[in-house]
Amino acid sequence: MSLEIFLFHLELLATSQSQKNLTPDWGMISAIIGFATLLAAIIIGIIQIVITKFPKKEIKEIKCIEISSVSLVKVDKKIANELEIFFQGKKIKYLTFTVLRVYNSGDLPITPSDFVRPISLIFTPIITTTEIIKAEILNATEHLQPIIEVKNNIIELEPLLMNSGDSFDISIITNLEENNINIDGRIVGIQNIKIEEGRVEEIDSFSSRSKQKPQSPPSQDFVRILLIISLVMYLIILSI
């Protein structure tokens, strides 16, 4: 055998061995893919079990937010005897405008039977004559029909159904220098109710989020099917 032929066969053998080494080990790759799929199915199953066994704690809550409170009329004491101002035929010294928003900020509905004592807005100091000139409901959630009753210095809200995210505004005009309001009421599952200050944007943002449907966790049937497919693939790969 000539030297040229020997070198040719040696080069051919080296090339063949190099190509063999570059050939992917599909069996190993398939095993890795099968194991990863099985692991993913197990993780999803664990997450689904955790979500089912330990669901998010639902909160029952109602808030009363003071959106705005402004003085429209305020007669200086120095000219009080010289200046007369009438509103709706009634002589006034002050005119204060307040807007309160009542909304269900929790996850659970509040039903009429939940009201042990209705929500009442009490204006202080206690007065003998009616100083609440006007009170009305505005911007109520669709199908929500709140009813209020004015009794001297008290605005009382009739018990009603409020689903999560439901809200309405109470517009109030008084003949008071400023509206100091206390809130009273007793609702099953709610520790206390208080008046807070807030911005409309924050409340509207919460209402929008509460109306969105929560995403459901993976169903048990889906997890079972994924586990079965993963096990079958893994067993087939091992038998190859």
CATH (domain of 145): 2.60.40
Same domain, 49 and 109: no
Q: Note whether 29 and 147 are same-domain residues.
A: no
Are residues 192 and 162 part of one domain?
Answer: yes
| pLDDT at res. 56 | 66
Domain that holds residue 234: 23-56+219-240
Q: Say what the pLDDT of residue 200 is.
A: 58
Query: Are residues 164 and 148 both part of a single domain?
Result: yes
pLDDT at 199: 62
Long-range contact pairs involving 33-42 (C-beta distance under 8 Å, separation at least 24): 33/233, 34/230, 34/233, 34/234, 34/237, 35/234, 37/226, 37/229, 37/230, 37/233, 37/234, 38/227, 38/230, 38/231, 38/233, 38/234, 40/226, 40/230, 41/223, 41/226, 41/227, 41/229, 41/230, 42/227
How many domains, in total, are found in the chain?
2
**pLDDT value, residue 27:** 61
The pLDDT averaged over each successive group of 10 residues in the chain (240 residues) is 52 53 57 66 68 70 90 73 75 85 92 94 71 90 92 91 94 85 91 78 53 52 64 60
Indicate whether 9 belongs to any domain: no
181 and 223 co-located in one domain: no
Give yes or no: residues 90 and 159 share one domain. yes
Residue 15 lies in a domain: no
- Tell me what pLDDT residue 141 has: 92
The pLDDT, as a whole number, for residue 73 is: 79
Question: Same structural domain for residues 191 and 90?
Answer: yes
Question: What was the pLDDT predicted at 35?
Answer: 65
Looking at residue 86, its pLDDT comes to 79
Instruction: Assess if residue 137 is contained within a domain.
Output: yes
